[in-house]
Structure 1
Amino acid sequence: MRQGKGDPAIAALAIAIAVVLLCVASSAVLAIDGAKAEEELPTQLLNGFAATHAAGSAATFEPVLYATSAVFALGFLRVGPASLDLAVVHLPSSFPVWRATPARLGDWSRPATLAFDDGTLVLAGPDGAVLWRTLNTVGDTVALLNSSNLVVQRYENPQPAWQSFDHPADTLVVDQNFTASSSPLVSANRRFTLQLGRTYMAMHMQFDAGQAQAATAPVYWKHTALEAHLENATAPPVYGRLDALGFFGLYLDGGGGQRVDVLSFDTFALNLTGVFRRMTLDDDGNLRAYYWTTGDSSAWTSDYKAIAERCELPTSCGAYGVCVPGNAQCQCLDSNGTSTAPPCHGEDTADLCSTASSNGARQLGFDVVRRTRVSVAYKEELPFRTNTTADGCELACAGNCTCRGALYNGASGYCYLIDFPVETLVYQADDRMLGYFKIRKAATANSARRGMSPGVTAATVALSLVLAGLAAAGAYWGYRTWERRKRKRAGMEQELVPGPYRDLKSMASSNNSFKA
C-alpha cells in the first residue's frame, strides 16, 4: 500500500518538538557532567594518598586538593624559572597565600611527589629525599578549609593536629592568629622578616636567607601595642589578627579577646563586604595589606603600607646607596651622581674581622668614605652612644672590626653604630649629620701574595725556579737541534750544486735515457 504525504504543519510541529527534546536532553547531560566534574574536585586526602608532579609542565600550578568553595587549592607551584614548592593558591588571582618554603626547593623539570601516609604530609624529590613535611603530626585526613587554612586532622578530635595558619610564609589572611610561637613572616626573596615580640611587632633585615634570630637581625621598623603594659612583666603577651572589617589588631593572649592596638586600613570606615583580604611582607621590605573584590576584580588593591616613603625602606637604593627624599632618586655613597638605581657596590655580608694573625682577630683592609648630610630612617633602632664628639664617634667604629659605619648627629651628640652591611642611607639637608663608612678593599695580586704564609711563599718560589730551569733547558735543546739541521742542509747543498746552472743542464741532457 502506498503511503501518502503527511500534513506539512504536522511535520513541522514534530520536528520542533524533537529539537526541543534534544536541547533539553543535552542540557541535562551537561548539567550532570558539570555536577560530576564538580564532585570530582578532591576536597579531602586520606592516608595512602600520593600525587606526582608532571616534570617540566607548562602550567605554573598543579592542584591536588581544593577547598569546598573552589576558591583555594593546594598543589605544586613553580617558583621562578625552574624551582618547585608546595603552596595554597588563591585561584581567582593565582596568588600563593601559603608556601611550604623548604630549605631546598625542588626542581620543576623533575618529578616530585606529595604523599599523605602514616598521618604525615610529605613533599619529596625524585630521589626520595624529603623536601618538606609536617613535623610531629599524626592525622587521618587532610583538608583545605574555605579560609585557606590547610589542616591535618584526627577523626575524634576537632582541633587540627597541624595547620598552615601556625606556619605562615610571607602572608597572613583574615582570622589567622599571628603569635610569638608562630613562624615569622619571611619575604619571598628571604631578605626581610616580620616577628612578634611580647608587646610589639618588628621587621628585620636578613643577610643569611632569613635564618637570623630577632636578637641578631637588625630592626628597621617596630610597632608597639599602645595599651600593652610594658612595665608589667606578668602581663600576657600580645598576638595579631587580620580582621575582615579592614584592620590588623593586636590582642592580649588569653585576655578574652581584649584588643590593645589597631592598625587601620584605608577601607576601615567603608564597611566593604564580599572582599578577601591579605597582609603580605613584600620583597622590598614593606608590610602591606591588600583586598580582592569577589566577582569583578582583576587585581589586588593596596589598602595599607607600614612604611610610607620609598627612602624609608631599608634597601631601596642598594648597598652603600643614598636615597634623596621627595623625588626618591638614588646616589652612591662615594659619588654625588644621581640616577634611578645606581649599582654602587655589591653587597658584602662578610665582616671585616680576620683571625689569620697569630695574635688573634685583626681588621681586614678597607677604604674609608666620609660624607655629610646622611642618616638612616631607622636610626632609633640602632645602638648609640651619647656625650661624644664626631671624632670620638668615628674612632669608636674605626677600631672595631665588626662595625661597618657610624653616624653622628651634631645637634644631639648621638653616635649611631652600624654593625651590619651598610644599606640605603637617607639624604638630610643638615651639615651636622656626619657619616663614616668602611668599604672593603678589592683583592689584588699583591695583596694576595702578601697574605700568603711563609711555607706557601717558599713552595711558590721553588716551583718558579723549577719552571724557569725547564724553560732554559728547552730553549737550549731547541737551539742545538736547529744548529744540527742547519749544518745538514749546508752539506746537502754542497753535494747537489757542484758547478754553475749550465753544467747541470748538460749533465741532464747527456744522461737522459728517454730520448727519441
Structure 2
Amino acid sequence: MKIKSILILLLSLQISLICHAEDAATATPIPQELLTGFSAVPQPTTTPFQAILTDPTGNFSLGFLRQNQNQLKLAVIHVASSEPFWVANPTRLASWAHTTRLSFNGSLVLSDSKTGVSWSTATNGHRAVLLNNSNLQVQNRATQTPIWESFHFPTNTLVQDQNLTADKSLVSSNGLYSFRLGDDFMGLYTNLNGGKRLLYWKHTAMEAKDEVKEGEGPIYARVNSEGGYLGMYQTSSKPVDVQKFSTFQQDSTTSSFLLVRLETDGNLKGYYWNGSNWMLNYEAIGETCELPNPCGSYGLCTPGGAGCSCLDNQTRFESGGCEGGGGGDLCGGRGFGGGESYRVLRRSGVEPPHKELVAHVTTASLAGCEGLCERNCSCWGVFYSNATGFCYVLDYPVGTVLGTGDGSKVGYFKVREGGEGRNRVGARVGIVVGVLVLIGVVIFGVGLCVKRLQRRRGVSGGMLKEENGHGASPGPYRNLKSASFRSIEMSVPISR
C-alpha cells in the first residue's frame, strides 16, 4: 500500500509539473510589437519555427524558420499552414546557433557575432509591428507611419492588397525564375547567368476597364481580395487588366485569404485559404510543355501528355534532363577560337519553346542558319524552319526543346564535350586500357607457364614436337588459335 501511495504521489507531482510548465508557456504570449532594446536568439530545441512577433489576429507570425537543421531564415509565415510569405534575405541563410541574434535598435538587424550583419532594415524607427495582412513594418515614433515595410521587398509571394511595382519582382525560391512588369504587360522570365533574363510568358493589358496612358507612370500588379483576381493598375482605381481566379468564391469570413506565388517550376499560381487548406484557383501556364524548362537540359517535351525524352533519342531521360547540360558558354576552353570542344546534335521535328517571344533572322537555307552558330562560341544552337526561312539563334545553354510533327523544322545543337561528356569519355578510355592491361597480364602469365613447362620436360626453344612430327604450339598457345577463341569478341558499350 505504501508503494502504491508513493507511485500515486509521484504521478500526481509529474502531472502538476506538466500543467505548470504549460501554464508558464501560455503565460508568455508572443509580443505584438518590438521596441528598442529587444533581442532574440534561436533556441536549440525549437523546430521548425520559433515565433518572435505576431499580428493582432494571430494568423501571421515573424520568427526563425529552421532550414537543414543548422540554418535559419527570418520569415513571416501563415501560422495555420506554416507557409512562408516573406523572407528577409533569401539568398543568405544564417546559422541556427547562439551566435545569431535578431535585435531592434530602431532597425531590425539579423547578425552573427562571428560573421557580422547579414540583414538590416537600415531605419531609425520607434517600433516593429506585424499587420493582419502579413505586412511587417518599422514605424515612426511620432506619426506611427511606416518608414519600412516588407510589402516593398517581396520574395516569391504576392498577397492580397499588396502592390508589386515595376521596380520590384517576385523570384522563385530556387532563384531560377522571376515575375516582372513591363510598360503595359506582366511577364515571367528565366534568370540566366550574367544577369540576363529570357522571357517565356507574357500577358499584355487588355484595357477592358481602363486604358494604359503613356507618360502617366508605370503599371503595378495587385491581388484584389474583393473581386478575386490578379489585376494590373496604373493611376486609376480601375484595373487596366483582370485575370480572374477561376475557382474563387467570395467569402466574407476572416479565414479567406488570397495570394499568388511564383513556383519553382516557373509557373505563377494563385491560391485562396478556405480555412483548412490552400486551394489552387489560378495558373498562368496550363500546359506542361509551355513551362520554361520542364524536361531539363537537352530534353524534348511533346505536347499532349507524351512526357519527356532526350533529344538524341538514345540517352535515357532522368530527372533534371539529359547529357550535355551545364551553364556558362563555349568560349572558355581549347576548341575553336579558344572555345570548348563540342559535338553536334541534329534533330528534325523540333522548334523553340515560346517562339513567339524569341527573336529570329531569315536565312536562305539550313546551312546558312547553322553557319551563324558554327563559328560563334557564344551560340549553343539554332532552330530553322524550311517553310518560313526563320532562324532562331540560342545564345544560352540548351534547355527543353518543343517537339512537333513537322519534319521541316530542324534543330542544330552543340553538346559540350566536357563535364559529363568528358567523364564518360574518360570512363570508356579507362575501361579499354584496363582490358588491354588485363590481356597483357594473361599473355605474360601464359608465357611464363609455357617456359616453366618446357624446362620441366627438358625441351629447348619455343616449339614442341607432336607425334606426327609437325610443329605445334603448347596447349595454351594452341587454344589461342582455336575457333572457340576466335569467336569471342570484346566490346565496350559506348553510351551517347
Whether 1:424 aligns to 2:400 is yes
Instruction: Output one character per residue of 1:119-165: Cα deviation in whole Å (capped at 9) or x when no partner.
Output: 11111124151111113x22110000000000000022343100000
What's the counterpart of residue 46 of structure 1? 35
Instruction: Tell me, yes or no, if the aligned pair for 1:102 and 1:131 is still in contact at 8 Å.
Output: no
Instruction: Output one character per residue of 1:378-429: Cα deviation in whole Å (capped at 9) or x when no partner.
Output: 1222221125422211111222211111111223221111111111111111
> CA–CA distance in 2 between the matches of 1:251 and 1:342?
38
What's the counterpart of residue 320 of structure 1? 298
> CA–CA distance in 1 between the matches of 2:151 and 2:181?
15
Whether 1:106 aligns to 2:64 is no
How far apart are residue 226 of structure 1 and its match?
2.1
What's the counterpart of residue 260 of structure 1? 240
> CA–CA distance in 2 between the matches of 1:144 and 1:328?
47
Q: Quick one: structure 1 residues 346 and 336, their matched pair in 2 at CA, closer, same or farther if it must change by over 3 Å?
A: closer
> CA–CA distance in 1 between the matches of 2:324 and 2:278?
33
Q: Quick one: structure 1 residues 101 and 388, their matched pair in 2 at CA, closer, same or farther if it must change by over 3 Å?
A: farther
What's the counterpart of residue 300 of structure 1? 278
What's the counterpart of residue 243 of structure 1? 224
Instruction: Output one character per residue of 1:420-439: Cα deviation in whole Å (capped at 9) or x when no partner.
Output: 11111111111011101111
Q: Quick one: structure 1 residues 92 and 190, their matched pair in 2 at CA, closer, same or farther if it must change by over 3 Å?
A: same
What's the counterpart of residue 202 of structure 2? 222
Instruction: Tell me, yes or no, if the aligned pair for 1:45 and 1:142 is still in contact at 8 Å.
Output: yes
Please tell me the residue identity of whatever aligns with 1:93. Answer: S
Query: What residue ranges of structure 2 are gaps of 5+ in the alignment?
Result: 1-18, 427-496
Trace 1:6-155 onto structure 2 (pairs within 5 A). Answer: 37=26, 40-55=29-44, 57-108=45-96, 111-117=99-105, 119-127=106-114, 129-135=116-122, 137-155=123-141
3-state SS, counterpart of residue 166 of structure 2:
coil
Q: Quick one: structure 1 residues 39 and 258, their matched pair in 2 at CA, closer, same or farther if it must change by over 3 Å?
A: farther
How far apart are residue 376 of structure 1 and its match?
2.9
What's the counterpart of residue 378 of structure 1? 354
Picking from 237, 243, 251, the partner of 1:272 is: 251
Query: What residue ranges of structure 1 are gaps of 5+ in the alignment?
Result: 1-29, 449-516
What's the counterpart of residue 418 of structure 2? 442
3-state SS, counterpart of residue 32 of structure 2:
coil
Trace 1:340-419 onto structure 2 (pairs within 5 A). Answer: 341=319, 343-345=321-323, 347-354=325-332, 362-419=338-395
How far apart are residue 314 of structure 1 and its match?
1.4
Instruction: Tell me, yes or no, if the aligned pair for 2:345 and 2:414 is still in contact at 8 Å.
Output: yes
How far apart are residue 277 of structure 1 and its match?
1.1
> CA–CA distance in 1 between the matches of 2:287 and 2:69?
31
Whether 1:167 aligns to 2:148 is no
3-state SS, counterpart of residue 393 of structure 1:
helix
> CA–CA distance in 1 between the matches of 2:185 and 2:120?
31
Q: Quick one: structure 1 residues 346 and 140, their matched pair in 2 at CA, closer, same or farther if it must change by over 3 Å?
A: farther
Instruction: Tell me, yes or no, if the aligned pair for 2:324 and 2:415 is still in contact at 8 Å.
Output: no
The share of aligned pairs that are identical, in percent, is 38
Whether 1:186 aligns to 2:167 is no
How far apart are residue 370 of structure 1 and its match?
0.5
Instruction: Tell me, yes or no, if the aligned pair for 1:374 and 1:425 is still in contact at 8 Å.
Output: yes
> CA–CA distance in 2 between the matches of 1:426 and 1:328?
12
Please tell me the residue identity of whatever aligns with 1:64. Answer: I
How far apart are residue 339 of structure 1 and its match?
5.4
Greater displacement, 77-86 / 281-290: 77-86
Larger radius of gyration: 1
How far apart are residue 34 of structure 1 and its match?
8.5
Instruction: Output one character per residue of 1:345-401: Cα deviation in whole Å (capped at 9) or x when no partner.
Output: 2631110113889xx953321111100111233122222112542221111122221
Please tell me the residue identity of whatever aligns with 1:369. Answer: L
Please tell me the residue identity of whatever aligns with 1:224. Answer: T
Instruction: Tell me, yes or no, if the aligned pair for 1:54 and 1:111 is still in contact at 8 Å.
Output: no
> CA–CA distance in 1 between the matches of 2:75 and 2:301?
36
Instruction: Tell me, yes or no, if the aligned pair for 1:246 and 1:267 is still in contact at 8 Å.
Output: no
Q: TM-score, normalised by structure 1?
A: 0.72
What's the counterpart of residue 482 of structure 2? none
> CA–CA distance in 2 between the matches of 1:43 and 1:94?
19
Instruction: Output one character per residue of 1:247-294: Cα deviation in whole Å (capped at 9) or x when no partner.
Output: 000001xx23231001111135x3234311110000111000011112
> CA–CA distance in 1 between the matches of 2:394 and 2:125?
48
How far apart are residue 338 of structure 1 and its match?
6.9
Instruction: Output one character per residue of 1:207-262: Cα deviation in whole Å (capped at 9) or x when no partner.
Output: 44xx82xxx211111112122867x652422101001131000001xx23231001
Instruction: Tell me, yes or no, if the aligned pair for 2:108 and 2:120 is still in contact at 8 Å.
Output: yes
Greater displacement, 270-279 / 167-176: 270-279
Instruction: Tell me, yes or no, if the aligned pair for 1:266 and 1:303 is still in contact at 8 Å.
Output: yes
Trace 1:471-490 onto structure 2 (pairs within 5 A). Answer: none
Q: Quick one: structure 1 residues 107 and 65, their matched pair in 2 at CA, closer, same or farther if it must change by over 3 Å?
A: same
Greater displacement, 90-99 / 383-392: 383-392
> CA–CA distance in 2 between the matches of 1:124 and 1:238?
36
> CA–CA distance in 2 between the matches of 1:98 and 1:134?
14
Number of equivalenced pairs: 398
What's the counterpart of residue 508 of structure 1? none
